[in-house]
Amino acid sequence: MPLKKTLERTRANVSLVEIGKIRQHEETDPGHLSFMMSKIRQDGVFTEPIVIDGGTMTVLDGHHRLNSCILLGLKKIPCLIVDYEDKGIRVVSRRPGIEVSKQRVREISETRCLFPCKTTKHFIPGRIKKINVPLCELA
């Protein structure tokens, strides 16, 4: 199925974004990264978009999927692009002693001095979880 039709069946705000334009704010776990990369390669399709802030191109959810695509040599990745200023989007810390906020996530993504893996948890209302984009469309 052509990519356009694949994305039309989800929502207009899922777009293919060049990987080099995306900023990260968390490190990844090597074991989970290896698992995710193997799963994506084996499936031959990308099944869940990462979530990024449209203003800063910062990953809000999907660091392991993004880094898997980087290691697989892909050039683009499906992204659910959101407005991080939306009051419905919330962020909390998963780690005691590490305070997080939307502003802190933005700052970390700019400095590239990343939070430890799985520090933040974003709550994104109405989020798209299922897509079906062949990897050949991302090369």
Give the start-to-end residue ranges of the domains of the chain.
Answer: 3-138
Give residue 121's pLDDT.
98
Give residue 6's pLDDT.
40
User: Hey, what are 19's tokens?
Assistant: 């990987």
Instruction: Say what the pTM is.
Output: 0.89
Give residue 67's pLDDT.
98
Distances (CA, A) of 12 to 5, 61, 62, 68, 81: 11, 19, 19, 24, 10
CATH label, 3-138, candidates 3.90.1530.10, 3.90.180.10, 3.40.50.920, 3.40.50.1100: 3.90.1530.10
Strands 59-61 and 50-53: antiparallel
Mean pLDDT by runs of 10 across the 139 residues of the chain is: 42 84 98 97 96 97 98 97 95 97 97 95 93 95
Give residue 18's pLDDT.
97
Active site positions, annotated: 26
